[in-house]
Amino acid sequence: MARFLAGRCAILLATLLAASVLVFLVLQVLPGDPASIMLGTSARPDTLAAMHHQLGLDRPLWQRYPLWIAALLRGDFGVSYTYSVPVADLLRARIAISLPLALLAMALSVALAIPLGVFAAARRGHLSDTLVMGVAQLGVSVPNFWLGLLLVLLFSVKLGWLPAGGFAGPRSLLLPAVALALPQAAILARVTRSSVLETLGEDFVRTARAKGLSRAAALWRHAVPNALIPVITIMGLQFSFLLAGTIIIENVFNLPGLGRLIFQAIAQRDLIVVQDLVVLLAGSVIVVNFLVDLAYAALDPRLARA
């Protein structure tokens, strides 16, 4: 187990390093000079040069990358070019919205998808299975931003129950979380169903029945825990789609979260904010995948040895 953990941690660090190099290089290659965007197109060359020097952009790449990483490790995220405030403060305020949103969406998705998927598998071929899978097919095909607009029309405009946009307390996160969660839940429910169906055909489920377990007990005690192993992989993959989804959904609902921040920062060539944010998002995807690996090892004793 210790060797497994050490190996996974090494992979985690290597991936983070590679991601940060990639993000840094890609942003240097992209067109658009932050200084000229800050000062306007009519700025004089010597003003531009002074600004370049102030932002550190006049140094060569091989110096700027280590400086940036070293500062990140000290907790110094730099100062935003456009907001002129420390990026760390910006991030802190925005994470307070985006993290609860992502967690709520993930929780909703899992709480909906796994019971429905197991239910559909247990009632394979019945009307209820067809119904659940039909709705899931619909959910897979609906883009989350469009679903968000429909939800706003129904719950905000028609019924007036929930705010249509902006952030005014936790209630504002409900509709965006539902809009993010439903399409993901649809995919997860389909994966859960097929995984449970496959597991139900395994010999050990028949063994459980031969011990006198009822159909339901054999399902929940033996089939489902085995079936969840591949489902967890999909959940890990979905987390990255969820982050991409928050960028779109926060713009639809006008939520001041990380998604909106990165969107604006790209438009305004606020390179330091984009750099920090992309590394943060990449890091969270990598950490989630690390957690998925750990969950795997916890669920499946055969893996912990390897």
Check binding of 204 to other proteins (CB under 8 A): yes
Query: How would you label 267-306 residue by residue, b for 16+ Cβ within 10 Å and e otherwise?
Result: ebbbbbbbbbbbbbbbebbbebbbebbebbbeeeeeeeee
Check binding of 210 to other proteins (CB under 8 A): yes
Half-sphere exposure of 57 (CA within 13 A, CB side): 18
Residue 132 CB, shortest distance to other proteins, in Å, is 19
Q: Considering only 106-114, 137-145, 221-229, 234-242, which stretch makes contact with other proteins by CB under 8 A?
A: 221-229
Residue 229 CB, shortest distance to other proteins, in Å, is 8
Length of the chain: 306
Check binding of 225 to other proteins (CB under 8 A): yes
Contact with other proteins (CB under 8 A) among 170, 214, 244, 267:
214
Check binding of 208 to other proteins (CB under 8 A): yes
- CA 167 and chain centroid, separation: 20
Contact with other proteins (CB under 8 A) among 146, 154, 207, 244:
207
Residue 106 CB, shortest distance to other proteins, in Å, is 24
Query: How would you label 223-233 residue by residue, b for 16+ Cβ within 10 Å and e otherwise?
Result: bbebbbebbbb
Q: What is the largest CA-CA distance in the chain?
A: 85
* Region for residue 125 given its phi and psi (left: phi exceeds 0; alpha: psi -120 to 50; beta: otherwise): left
Contact with other proteins (CB under 8 A) among 226, 238, 268, 275:
226
Strand, helix or coil at 86?
A: strand
Contact with other proteins (CB under 8 A) among 213, 287, 292, 295:
213
Residue 205 CB, shortest distance to other proteins, in Å, is 8
Strand, helix or coil at 79?
A: strand
DSSP class of residue 81 equals T
Strand, helix or coil at 212?
A: coil
Residue 180 identity (one-letter amino acid): L
Q: Considering only 64-72, 113-121, 202-210, 265-273, which stretch makes contact with other proteins by CB under 8 A?
A: 202-210
- Residue 64 or 123: which CB sits closer to other proteins? 123
- Residue 160 or 301: which CB sits closer to other proteins? 301
Residue 47 identity (one-letter amino acid): T
Check binding of 299 to other proteins (CB under 8 A): yes
Residue 213 CB, shortest distance to other proteins, in Å, is 7
Contact with other proteins (CB under 8 A) among 33, 129, 198, 202:
202
Give me the residues that bind other proteins (CB under 8 A), please.
202-204, 206-215, 221-222, 225-226, 229, 299-302
